[in-house]
Amino acid sequence: MNDAFAYLVVGLTLLGAAFLLLGSWGLVRLPSTMERLHGPTMAATLGVGSLVLASMLRARLQTGTWSTHELLIVLFLFITAPVSANMIAKVHLHRQRMTDIIEPAGIAGEPPNPDDGDWATFEAPRPSIAASTADLKRLPDD
């Protein structure tokens, strides 16, 4: 039983490290920013997941009791990784339209335009509403 656990710890550790390395290598190797988003968000999250599983099994081997508090880390990462990837994609789309970023043609081609109107981040600011609090010269009286 303990031998099986030890082999499992070794396998999961090496698998997790391989996922992390592949994700970061994708960050270096892929041609455009939108494609570079894929490597870290998926592979790196999976890598941390397997490393956390290995850590739990290792604690079981050493102390003889199960420890589950490592799952908090992986739960938090699984929740937050899509959100931060979405935010980075929004920033990239925004800056691609607003500034002159020359992107190499990726495998997927240009990001599509939505059918009606534009992405929410590109809406022209309405003159009556300040775009940010930094633009507010004074508070409105009412």
Q: Residues near 78 by Cβ (< 8 Å), separated by ≥ 6?
A: 45, 49
User: Contacting another protein (CB under 8 A), which of 87, 108, 110, 118?
Assistant: 87
- Integer Cα distance of 135 and 130 in angstroms: 6
User: Contacting another protein (CB under 8 A), which of 68, 88, 105, 113?
Assistant: 88
Residue 1-30 contact track with another protein, rule CB under 8 A, x = bound: -----x--xx--xx-xxx-xx-xxx-xx--
User: Contacting another protein (CB under 8 A), which of 35, 42, 60, 89?
Assistant: 89
Q: Does 91 bind another protein (CB under 8 A)?
A: yes
Residue 62-81 contact track with another protein, rule CB under 8 A, x = bound: x----x-xx-xx--xx--xx
CA 57 to chain centre: 26
Q: Which is nearer to another protein, 67 or 142 (CB)?
A: 67
DSSP category for residue 130 = -
- Helices marked H in the chain — which ranges? 2-29, 33-36, 38, 45-63, 71-98
Which amino acid, 133? T
Sign of the dihedral defined by the CA atoms of residues 16, 19, 21, 24, in that order: negative
Question: Between the CA of residue 89 and those of 6, 21, 44, what are the distances in Å?
Answer: 40, 22, 17
Interface residues toward another protein, by CB under 8 A = 6, 9-10, 13-14, 16-18, 20-21, 23-25, 27-28, 33, 36-37, 40, 44-45, 47-48, 51-52, 54-55, 58-59, 62, 67, 69-70, 72-73, 76-77, 80-81, 83-84, 87-92, 94-96, 101, 103, 121, 131-135
